[in-house]
Amino acid sequence: MPPLTRPPVAVPFPGSRPSRFARVFALLFGLTAAASWWAARVDLPTLFSREAFRNALVFVADGFPPALSPTFLFFLIRPALETVQISLLGTAVALVIGFPLGILATASLAHAGPLHELDLSGRPVRRLLRFMPYGLSRALLSLFRSVPELVWALVFVRATGLGPFPGVLAIGVAYGGILGKVYSEIFEAVDPRPLEALQATGASRWGVFWYGMVPQAFPHLVSYTLYRWECAIRASAILGFVGAGGIGQQIEISMRMFNFGEVVTLIGLLVLMVAGTDALSLRLRRRVL
């Protein structure tokens, strides 16, 4: 882990008066919390009631020992592999969607900054033309990532039928939106000096991108994509809840049948898979960075 980079904050000394911002903030925060308390119908007596306790106990008693019969474990291989497959292919689809849109959504490539000073100064129409694909791709990315994966999955289940494929598409679209946004942020954060140097040699915008931006951004792109793959494993386990394959579907089925021993086994399996992915992606990341 790198050392902490944020500047430390001052802890107020006892007896010092809070600033006006602090007071307004505290007031709004308290009001929001109270309103949310009401809107979420928080019901602490029920939570701590004997019945809720008994229900939790039922789960724990049924969940242990977890289901470990060989037939069940053997049966789980397929959904587990399916989850890995969904996450891999989903991330690949996300890459295919996110990379080009991310390039278009990079302000320093599209319309702003030193690369365009000569080109665009005093030419509002051309500036607008350059801005349009940028704005459009930003809007598209934001739409892709604002609609939750689960909703995308439901839509794609409708379009292509039950099974793992709609899960792939759902992860592809939702994560495509996230990857595109983060890629554009990475591209915008590169050191601009090599870009200007390339431009001064007469390189085209593509040339500037491939030889100036990509080499600088590559490790970060790989690292973030790997991180998203880890998330995709978790997400693809959830997508099964709406019929998009993987172990999520098994969790859903076992839950509905109140077979908590199986649920515990499945969650354990998911934990193992996530840990395995984390370890693998850590190794890959070390090689790239």
Partner 1 sequence: MAWQAPAVRAVAGPPRAAVTTWLGWAALAGALLWSYRGTAADIGAVLGPEGLAQMAAYGRRLFPPDLSAPLLREVAIGASETFAISFLGTLLAVLIAFGLVFFASANLAFAGLLFEMERPVVRGLRLLLYGTARGLLNLLRTVPELVWAILFVFMVGLGPFPGVLALGVHTAGVLGKLFAEVLENVDPRPIEALQGTGARRLQVLAYGILPQVLPHFVSYSLYRWEVNIRVAAIMGFVGAGGLGQRIHIAISLFLEHQLLTLVLAIYALVTAVDALSALLRRRLL
Q: In the block, which residue shows the tokens 């000073």?
A: 117
Does 43 contact partner 1 by CB under 8 A? yes
Does 11 contact partner 1 by CB under 8 A? yes
Query: Does residue 222 contact residue 281 with C-beta atoms inside 8 Å?
Result: no
Does 255 contact partner 1 by CB under 8 A? yes
Does 18 contact partner 1 by CB under 8 A? no
Among 10, 118, 125, 200, interactor with partner 1 by CB under 8 A: 10
Q: List the structure tokens of 198.
A: 């390339």
Does 4 contact partner 1 by CB under 8 A? yes
Provide the minimum distance between the beta carbon of 86 and partner 1 in the complex, in angstroms, as a whole number: 6
> Checking phi first, is residue 258 left (phi over 0); if not, alpha (psi -120 to 50) or beta?
left
* 32 vs 69, beta carbon nearer partner 1: 32
Contacts with partner 1, 51-90, as mask; x by CB under 8 A: -x--xx--x---------------------xx-xxx-xx-
Provide the minimum distance between the beta carbon of 105 and partner 1 in the complex, in angstroms, as a whole number: 16
C-alpha dist (Å) from residue 75 to 247, 262, 267: 11, 12, 15
Span from 68-76, 99-107, 186-194, 269-277 in contact with partner 1 (CB under 8 A):
269-277
Burial per residue of 252-286, b for 16 or more beta-carbon CB atoms within 10 angstroms, e otherwise: bebeeeebbbbbbbbbebbeebeeebeeebeeeee
Does 7 contact partner 1 by CB under 8 A? yes
Contacts with partner 1, 101-140, as mask; x by CB under 8 A: ----------------------------------------
Q: How many CB atoms lie within 10 A of CB 22?
A: 11
Which residues from 228-247 bind partner 1, rule CB under 8 A? Answer: 234, 237-238, 241-242, 245
Does 270 contact partner 1 by CB under 8 A? yes
Q: How many CB atoms lie within 10 A of CB 4?
A: 7
Contacts with partner 1, 190-229, as mask; x by CB under 8 A: ----------------------------------------
Span from 111-119, 157-165, 185-193, 217-225 in contact with partner 1 (CB under 8 A):
157-165
Provide the minimum distance between the beta carbon of 17 and partner 1 in the complex, in angstroms, as a whole number: 18
Query: Does residue 210 contact residue 132 with C-beta atoms inside 8 Å?
Result: no
Q: Which residues contact 224 (CB under 8 A, 6 or more apart)?
A: 179, 182, 183, 186
Phi/psi at 264 (nearest 5 deg)?
Answer: -60, -45
Provide the minimum distance between the beta carbon of 47 and partner 1 in the complex, in angstroms, as a whole number: 5
Burial per residue of 162-201, b for 16 or more beta-carbon CB atoms within 10 angstroms, e otherwise: eebbbbbbbbbbbbbbbbbbbbbbbbbebebeebeebbee
- Dist CA 289 CA 287 (whole Å): 6
Return residues touching partner 1 (CB under 8 A): 1-4, 6-11, 21, 25, 32-33, 35-43, 46-47, 52, 55-56, 59, 81-82, 84-86, 88-89, 92, 142-143, 146-148, 150-151, 154-155, 158-160, 163-165, 167-169, 234, 237-238, 241-242, 245, 251, 255, 263, 267, 270-271, 274, 284
